[in-house]
A and B are shown apart, each in its own frame.
Chain A
Amino acid sequence: MASYGDVRRWRPGPLEDTEQALKRKSDSLLRLNDEFAEMATPREWTGDAATSARREHGRITGRMEEIVASVSAARSATGDASDAVIGLRHAVEEAEELARAHGFAIGDDGAVNDVAPPQDVPADDVDEVRRERERIQTELVDRVEQILRRATDIDNDLADVLRKVSNDEIGDDGATTLAAAAAAAAAGAAQGGLSVLAPPKGGSPGDNAGWWDTLSKAEQQAIIANHPEWIGNRDGIPFTARDEANRARLETEKTRLAAERRRLQADLDDNLFGGLFTNADARLDQVEEKLASIEVIESTLDKGNRQLLQFDTSPERAEAAIANGNVDTADHVAVFTPGLTSNVPDSMVDYDANMDNLQSRTQDELRKYGDGGSVATVTWIGYQAPQLSADSIFSDNSVASDQAAAAGAEKLTPFLQGIDTARDTDAHLTALGHSYGSTTTGLALQNDTGVDEAVFFGSPGLGTNEVNDIKVPDGHATYIEAKRDAVGDLGYFGIDPSHMDGMDYATSAEARHPGDGRVMNEVTGHTSYLDDGSTSQYNMAVITGGMSDRVLHGADRGIGDVGSWPVPGTY
């Protein structure tokens, strides 16, 4: 197997030269067609001699068909390998550039070495810098692994064809006349085609990004067209490609689910006891919910300037994430995770409107008071948020348990990691978590995700009692609580965030905009934090835009926060 040092020296040029030379030579051989017709024995010639001569003529023309087929197979294989090596070189350059930019070097043995750790890091930033470098180092290791996996795949595919060519094992697809030589050549080309490397099983975002980067543009397009399910929900893949793949999957899923609905309905119609013993009625309800989800997703996408980043109908309830703006290119990206009762058909439209407003407000703040950068906001309903139904209250999916949040965090973590990993330059990344979604977000952020800012609001707990467990730069975890928000005082999944040492607090009370003096509205209760024109929305906007110095601070504690004050030594 080639080493990383070998692969670093791979280049497409010689393969391209070979492919072109084989094309010219193959054309020359195909031009023998005229001679082959003329060298056939005269039709009137009969007898043993004529029979022998005809047999010999057939053998000679047949042999040339096989040779042309072999040449075509070799030509096709070297051409495909040349294209594949272009993709591979791109992946090597990406990895090398990422390493260089962060003070790492990749050795010939593929080891990722820390050669230039940053000097004079301020004490407050040491933890964050260490976390970031560990994340980058892990990504580089994954990328090298995928580069070698792809290199081996290219080599194996090419070697297989070359071995067949050397051993005279390329067939001419049954061509028996000289006139079929061109068809035999096509057969040879088909046998020379290289396989498309499937994505890594259970790959990390770094693995996935590394795999994707090794593919040529043509291969990437072929995967979007033929295997959209490979990448639609694969974290680490650029979101533009995921969007394209997921939009294609919407159509196929709609067709599949409509057929399933017809089948289940027919089962129910034919069964005297309905779904009493078959559970077909419950399954039909789920299918209906998923079809309704698709309808909502389509109508949301129709509003324009949206990306479908995630789409999965395999769980009990459909999951989806929709972005306002372009997550691949936006300077600032915010990912919002909602909580209790959120689901695609009932919640996506409103939350998407909230994120649309937040995007506009953030861009407005950036234009007037910031760097003028671009913004993308994401509604992430990528987990099975608890629902309020009689059977769900006592299930693993209950709001009274953190199991759904933990399961959601397992999905949210790679989704967040995949944002910086998929991009050429890191985004300024903010995670927004509301209610039970703040618990999900809090659990996810206990991993290295590349998130720069966290904003929790109306939280029953972050899955920890310590703000230091939330892996964002010091001073960049913010909590907002409105008056009369009882959920925010529960302190159920960790202490009430209103009382966390080291947490930054932003106000939800009425306030004047610090720039233009307009009045921004107070919000109260549990469900209004994202209201357009509210102070809480303003605070989320300036944090999303990387202007935390413009946050309006204040903890709007109510009587419930007195009761939720944690007693030292009890947590």
Chain B
Amino acid sequence: MSGYQTQIEDLRGSARAARSASEQASDVRLASAFDGAGAAMPGSRSESLLFQAGNALGNDVAGWVTGADAYADDLAAAADRYSANEDAAAADFATQGGD
């Protein structure tokens, strides 16, 4: 296997790792940690904030999963394109993957 092919395989490995991280994170349902927590302090300001914090953290992880998936997609796509044409892959990442 040439050095060029090795780098493409490394890119595919990074994409697989990102996908794995995304899958593991999506199994971590943070909002459920707060189920019933409000019952600890009825009448308090924290009662509703516990619910809100749970939702916010759940959304944070969901957003992160979306980002990680996109990153994995971009890496995989780049690897595919590098196989055909490295310049095209670079242009694609520059337009899709940047901030």
Which residues on A are within 8 Å of B, measured CB to CB?
Answer: 1-3, 5-7, 9-15, 17-18, 21-22, 25, 28-29, 31-32, 35-36, 38-42, 44-45, 47-50, 52-53, 55-57, 59-60, 63-64, 66-67, 70-71, 74, 78, 81-82, 85, 151, 154-156, 158-159, 162-163, 165-168
A18 cross-chain contacts in B, Cβ below 8 A = 33-34, 37, 50
**Interface majority SS (helix, strand, loop, mixed), chain B:** helix
B17 cross-chain contacts in A, Cβ below 8 A = 35-36, 38-39
Q: In the assembled complex, how far is the CB of residue A415 from the closest CB belonging to chain B, in whole angstroms?
A: 36
A49 and B90 form a contact (CB under 8 A): yes
Residue of B10, B33, B45, B67 contacting most chain A CB atoms (<10 Å): B33
Does B2 sit at the interface, judged by CB under 8 A? no
B46 and A52 form a contact (CB under 8 A): no
Interface 1/0s, chain B 59-93, versus A by CB < 8 A?
01101100110011011001000000010011111
Pick from A36, A53, A60, A71: contact of B57, CB below 8 A: A71
A42 and B42 form a contact (CB under 8 A): no
Pick from A14, A42, A56: contact of B71, CB below 8 A: A56
Q: In the assembled complex, how far is the CB of residue B1 from the closest CB belonging to chain A, in whole angstroms?
A: 14
Pick from B27, B63, B90: contact of A48, CB below 8 A: B90
A53 and B75 form a contact (CB under 8 A): yes
B93 cross-chain contacts in A, Cβ below 8 A = 48-49, 52-53
B60 cross-chain contacts in A, Cβ below 8 A = 66-67, 70, 168
Q: In the assembled complex, how far is the CB of residue A178 from the closest CB belonging to chain B, in whole angstroms?
A: 10
Pick from A21, A38, A39: contact of B32, CB below 8 A: A21
A21-B32, A40-B14 known; A165 vs B53 contact (CB < 8 Å): yes
B28 and A28 form a contact (CB under 8 A): yes
Which residues on B are within 8 Å of A, measured CB to CB?
Answer: 3, 7, 10-11, 13-15, 17-18, 20-21, 24-25, 27-30, 32-34, 36-46, 49-50, 52-53, 55-57, 60-61, 63-64, 67-68, 71-72, 74-75, 78, 86, 89-94, 97-99
B33 and A21 form a contact (CB under 8 A): yes
Residue of A14, A39, A70 contacting most chain B CB atoms (<10 Å): A39
A22 and B33 form a contact (CB under 8 A): yes
Pick from B34, B50, B98: contact of A52, CB below 8 A: B98
B41 cross-chain contacts in A, Cβ below 8 A = 2, 6, 10, 15, 81, 85, 154-155, 158
CA separation between A50 and B57, bound complex, in Å?
A: 31
A15-B40, A21-B33, A42-B7 known; A53 vs B74 contact (CB < 8 Å): yes
CA separation between A59 and B63, bound complex, in Å?
A: 12
CA separation between A15 and B55, bound complex, in Å?
A: 16
A53-B93, A59-B99, A155-B46 known; A10 vs B21 contact (CB < 8 Å): no
Q: In the assembled complex, how far is the CB of residue A202 from the closest CB belonging to chain B, in whole angstroms?
A: 27
